[in-house]
Amino acid sequence: MEAQCACGQLVVILPEDVTPAVVACHCTACQRRSGSPFGVGAYYPRALLSFSGDSRAWTRQADSGGAFTTHFCPVCGSSVYWTTEKHPDAVGIAVGAIADPHFPAPVRSVWEETRHDWVEITSATQHFPKGRS
């Protein structure tokens, strides 16, 4: 299984025998990063991923105070993965970059205080008004 940008030059190979934590985030930063009312990420241990292609990185300060770095394709601009200072051994993969309609649904929904009123993540069993503590 793999995640890739729109043009295919930035690819992340994902382990098929690992069930990732899938999270829907409604924070305004994820809305802007994804161009959608929320972002959905699948979190994997960094050591289990393989990266190929060129990426560019942009770092912002997360609401937690730590660094949040988005890696995107310098050719097509697609956001493919991100890393955080809070969880340095994990990588968030944009579920849209995986493009598998059978990929697991989010189990957690965070930053619901900025969730669009018409959005409901029915698959999530955990809901948080802000980030998870």
> 2-127 has which fold?
2.170.150
Which long-range contacts does 64-71 make (Cβ < 8 Å, 24+ apart)?
64/131, 68/29, 70/33, 71/10
pLDDT digits (tens, 9 = 90+) for 4-58: 999 999 999 999 999 899 999 999 999 999 999 999 999 999 999 999 999 999 9
Q: What is the pLDDT of residue 132?
A: 78
pTM for the full predicted model: 0.91
Q: What is the pLDDT of residue 96?
A: 96
Average pLDDT score over residue span 117-131:
93
Q: What is the pLDDT of residue 115?
A: 95
Q: What is the pLDDT of residue 133?
A: 65
Calpha distance 6→108 (Å, rounded):
26
Given a cut of 90, whether residue 62 has pLDDT beyond it is no
Q: Enumerate the domain spans of the chain.
A: 2-127
Q: What is the pLDDT of residue 4?
A: 98
* Three-class secondary structure of residue 91 per DSSP: strand
Given a cut of 80, whether residue 64 has pLDDT beyond it is no
Return the H-helix or E-strand segment holding 87. none
Query: What are the structure tokens assigned to 59, written together?
Result: 């770092």
Higher pLDDT, 51 or 63: 51
pLDDT digits (tens, 9 = 90+) for 65-88: 889 999 999 999 999 999 999 899
Asked whether 76 and 33 are in contact (CB, 8 A), the reply is no
Calpha distance 25→18 (Å, rounded):
21
